[in-house]
């Protein structure tokens, strides 16, 4: 069995989570793991995983959505006036706890009022629009997009054992081995679990001891090479801003229309954030102020 050195050129402060837990790594940290029984070799750079030199998988960026509530309320779909298609959770994605706590402290937000939102069947932009509407309706205080991406990490998952005959087999009866977790797959096949650990320097030794049993035809290390890790970027989450929220208070009120008009009159258009563009025509003009006022008036009538 051949060991492979894997170099993960990760950005500083990235969080790596394997099946066994979470750890922090610095740039150019090297991991060693085993090839599978077919001697396929896995390696990776920061964006791509290679199998025998060919592209095996590319890291996929995913958006996660986060919002904060204005007060101590029971946050439910009913409170937010959302369908049951939306999943609301106060539990962070694995490994995000410390990153979220650091972010909330830095931005004067309350960690205890943070919630995550997702919705199967809806695209990212649809979720963004939902969050904007929740802010307009004063249901939530602020909302953010948070990027993370998946990566592939090969880990030893177990050992496949094939017997020559269907005689009962217990690997713990072999000298030097004990407390191994195993199950019988068929009359002549057994599977020994290695608990998804990435560091098994003694794996080859275990295999050799198993092979010493005269009824063992083969014993191969089984490597899971996909879907066993996640890197969370420590980049700042990006604000989800309401179109027309010119004063950046995460609300849409008459003050926003007035602020747009004021800055345009003072010839200080450059002081208006890009999301002051309420009608989405790519330019902030008096028309945006008028349309914000019209929207609010119609909303009050409804």
Q: What is the pLDDT of residues 99-138, one digit of tens each?
A: 778 788 888 888 889 999 988 778 888 999 999 999 999 9
pLDDT tier at 149, thresholds 50, 70, 90: low
CA gap 8, 49 in Å, rounded: 10
Mean pLDDT of 80-102: 79
73-87, 161-175, 191-205 — which is least confidently predicted?
A: 191-205
Please check the confidence at residue 143 and state whether its pLDDT lies above 70.
yes
Inter-CA distances, 90 with 112, 176, 292, Å: 8, 47, 33
Strand, coil or helix: 177: coil
21-25, 55-59, 71-75, 259-263 — which is least confidently predicted?
A: 21-25
- Residue 62 CB: number of other CB atoms within 10 A? 13
**So what's the pLDDT on residue 25?**
28
Give the residue among 226, 231, 251, 229 at the shortest CA–CA distance from 241: 251
pLDDT tier at 10, thresholds 50, 70, 90: very low
Inter-CA distances, 217 with 163, 164, 168, Å: 5, 5, 14
- Higher confidence at residue 180 or residue 252? 252
Q: Which residues contact 142 (CB under 8 A, 6 or more apart)?
A: 67, 68, 109, 135, 239, 240, 250
CA gap 214, 299 in Å, rounded: 81
Please check the confidence at residue 249 and state whether its pLDDT lies above 80.
yes
The pair of structure tokens assigned to 136 is 């307009």
Please check the confidence at residue 65 and state whether its pLDDT lies above 80.
yes
- Higher confidence at residue 37 or residue 262? 262
CA gap 69, 85 in Å, rounded: 20
């Amino acid at each position: 069995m051949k060991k492979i050195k894997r170099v993960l050129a990760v950005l500083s402060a990235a969080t790596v989570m394997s099946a066994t837990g979470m750890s922090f790594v610095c740039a150019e940290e090297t991991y060693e793991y085993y090839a599978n029984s077919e001697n396929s070799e896995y390696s990776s750079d920061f964006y791509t995983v290679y199998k025998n030199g060919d592209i095996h998988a590319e890291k996929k960026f995913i958006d996660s959505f986060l919002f904060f509530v204005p007060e101590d309320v029971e946050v439910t779909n009913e409170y937010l006036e959302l369908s049951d298609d939306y999943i609301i959770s106060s539990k962070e994605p694995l490994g995000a706890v410390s990153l979220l706590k650091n972010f909330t402290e830095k931005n004067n937000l309350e960690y205890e009022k943070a919630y995550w939102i997702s919705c199967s069947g809806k695209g990212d932009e649809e979720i963004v629009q939902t969050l904007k509407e929740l802010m307009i309706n004063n249901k939530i205080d602020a909302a953010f997009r948070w990027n993370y991406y998946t990566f592939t990490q090969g880990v030893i998952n177990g050992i496949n054992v094939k017997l020559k005959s269907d005689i009962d087999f217990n690997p713990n009866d072999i000298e030097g081995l004990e407390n191994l977790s195993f199950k019988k797959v068929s009359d002549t096949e057994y599977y020994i679990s290695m608990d998804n650990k990435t560091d098994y320097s003694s794996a080859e030794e275990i295999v050799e001891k198993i092979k010493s049993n005269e009824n063992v035809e083969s014993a191969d290390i089984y490597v899971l090479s996909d879907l066993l890790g996640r890197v969370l970027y420590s980049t700042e989450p990006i604000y989800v801003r309401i179109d027309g929220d010119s004063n950046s208070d995460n609300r849409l009120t008459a003050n926003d229309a007035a602020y747009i008009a004021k800055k345009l009159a003072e010839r200080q258009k450059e002081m208006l954030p890009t999301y002051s563009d309420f009608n989405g025509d790519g330019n902030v003009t008096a028309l945006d102020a008028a349309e914000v006022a019209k929207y609010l008036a119609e909303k009050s009538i409804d």
